[in-house]
Amino acid sequence: MIMMIMPPLVSRLILLPCCLLSLFLAGAANADGQKIDSLRRAAYTNPEGSHQSLSAWEDILRLDPRSLEAHVMLGWTLMSTPPHVERGIRLLEDSFDPDKVQPVIDTSLPQTYMIAATIGRYRNEKREYGLARKFTQMALEMSARHGTNNSPSGDVCIQMQLGSTFDYIPESTEAATDAIDSLMAHSKQLLRSTEGNSNLNNWSVNDDVVSTFPGGAPDPYV
């Protein structure tokens, strides 16, 4: 008789108010939030690049895989820490992807311009030209605000990189077309920036500075 009156255990659990389940989940999330706050303090208190700092960012990323802060801070450090360079670059790339982080990185910040330019240069050196153009183009668009010459068309050095980046072994016909179109468009933009100015006054590259670069000095045989 008692068994008929008392609902089974599973039924009783189902009858628990939904608010209790919400409180349980909120408590778990709050506990994770407190742990993340503690880890953030450890990450910033310890020297940048130290084992303690890196471990803290790794733990934050495990607790919150979509943490923009962890992606950027860990990625920037690993990018200059062989043999973890590739992973660092990928974390930085993911910081631009809304499917990977929330929120995405703020493109109004000058640091973001530097990150995009660094990714583009790295991918170009790895001959991954599609990714190289993608992030270098981002850097060019941001450089109008954050670049050294503040040109409306973007930083000349970034423009030169895009104007000389070519995919010699494209993966498809479309990739080959994109490579050619990008090369031509940015080469023309470079030429337009000096058109009608015989003194090249708007050419932002300082020849004295360039001459100090390896291969940048005038060739005495030419």
DSSP string of 10-38, one letter each residue: HHHHHTS-HHHHHHHHHHHHHHHHHHHHH
Non-local (6+) Cβ contacts of 140 within 8 A are: 154, 155, 158, 159, 162
Query: Looking at this protein, which amino acid is placed at residue 202?
Result: N
Q: Indicate the helix (H) or strand (E) that contains 53.
A: helix 51-63
Question: What's the predicted TM-score (pTM) here?
Answer: 0.70
* Cβ contacts of 85 within 8 Å, gap of 6 or more: 78, 79, 122
Is 65 within 8 Å of 86 (Cβ atoms)? Answer: no
- How would you write the pLDDT of the chain (222 residues) with one tens digit per residue? 444 444 443 343 344 444 333 334 344 456 788 999 999 999 999 999 999 999 999 999 999 999 999 999 999 999 999 999 999 999 999 999 999 999 999 999 989 999 999 999 999 999 898 899 999 999 998 987 775 555 566 777 888 888 888 777 778 888 788 878 887 887 777 777 655 544 445 555 566 666 665 555 665 554
